[in-house]
Amino acid sequence: MRERDLLAHIYQRSANDRHASVAVGPGDDCAVLRIGGAQVLVTTDQLVEGRHYHSEDEPELVARKAMARAISDIAAMAGRPTAAVVAATLPPGLTNGAALVDRLRESAQHFDTPLVGGDVASSTTDAPVVITATILGSPHPQRGPVLRSTARVGDAVWVTGELGGAWSSAPNDRHSKQHTFVPRVAEAWSLADELGAELRSMIDLSDGLGVDAARIATASGVRIELDAAALPVSPRLAGEWRRALSDGEDYELAFTADAGDDVRVALDRVAERLGVAITRVGRVTAGEGCVVHTPDGETLGADDLGWEHG
């Protein structure tokens, strides 16, 4: 079974699970809960040895990535992280457990997200290490949580930073983006500040812009059209725009916003103040799925261009 089919199964099954404490259930970057009159964001993310990191990677890099990926989902809703709990399944004998737990704590502190609990267990076999980070957060008080499902026909599509080339096939590559990215919490918060309701929908780019933009399109019941020539391709990829769509692990923000000039001016302000590129890469139209217009004038389906975890 493909990951997207299992997720579709989960979303379909949970669609009718109404509960007073749930504002947003499965299918977005975070769930949104109502707790004591406040809205609370919650997300969880697994890092699997051999799949999301190299077995040889230092605990420091593994811990940082586990925390940063999960916090990126809070950024995707324009929230701020409040606290983390982490569960780790370790080899028999809890090999390297103390080092990993120490690095997780340091990494959480680095991202200003206190680590307040968790669980450790040992596997009975030669199973891979699995680290599961769960983050609680609070949404922007005026804008509220920014969902995937609220893009509108006529919106423009934007991305932060550069795309592609984040994953390194070399172990312990401390300079690869997967080990250096900072979740776009400050940027997302500023977007919510500056754009308010004109910030319509958002997602963080974990699997590649093609797949992730299609997730906004599906959740919102719209079509997203990307322009290959407009993509902010990482300089290390020498203009390979397909990889900018499909490599994944960018942890940039993709968002849709009103296409008006006031939004463009506001985005220039955010870009300048935070020192981040914000690039218009496409538009929201009527229809479904995600397509990319190539420099040769072709139109390709982009939904399948991203990394899909099997």
Contact characters 175-194, Mg ion, x per CB under 5 A: --------------------
By CB under 5 A, what part of segment 72-101 binds Mg ion?
Answer: 73, 76
Of all residues in the shown chain, the one whose CB is closest to Mg ion is 29
How many residues are recorded in the chain?
Answer: 310
Closest CB to Mg ion among 76 and 302? 76
Assess 29 for contact with Mg ion (CB under 5 A): yes
Asked if 147 and 28 touch (Cβ cutoff 8 Å), the reply is: yes
Q: How many residues bind Mg ion (CB under 5 A)?
A: 4
CA distance 28 to 268: 27
Least CB distance from residue 33 to Mg ion, whole Å?
A: 17
Give the CB-side neighbour count of residue 212, counting CA atoms within 13 A. Answer: 31
Q: For Mg ion, which is the closer residue by CB, 76 or 157?
A: 76
- Name which of 33 and 259 has its Cβ closer to Mg ion: 33
Tokens 């982490």 locate to 86
Stretch that binds Mg ion, among 13-21, 114-122, 145-153, 203-211 (CB under 5 A): 203-211
Q: Which residues contact 219 (CB under 8 A, 6 or more apart)?
A: 27, 28, 147, 148, 149, 151, 201
Distance from C-alpha of 166 to C-alpha of 164, rounded to nearest angstrom:
6
What is the per-residue binding string for Mg ion in 58-77, x denoting contact by CB under 5 A? Answer: ---------------x--x-
Q: What angle do CA 73, 199, 270 make, to 5 degrees?
A: 85
Listed ranges 23-31, 98-106, 129-137, 187-195: which one lies at the site for Mg ion (CB under 5 A)? 23-31
Q: 75 or 86: whose CB is closer to Mg ion?
A: 75
Give the range of 24-32, 96-104, 230-238, 281-289 binding Mg ion by CB under 5 A: 24-32
Position among 162, 194, 204, 249 found at the interface with Mg ion (CB under 5 A): 204
Q: Which is nearer to Mg ion, 57 or 73 (CB)?
A: 73
Which residue, 184 or 242, has its beta carbon nearer to Mg ion?
A: 184
Give the binding site for Mg ion (CB under 5 A): 29, 73, 76, 204
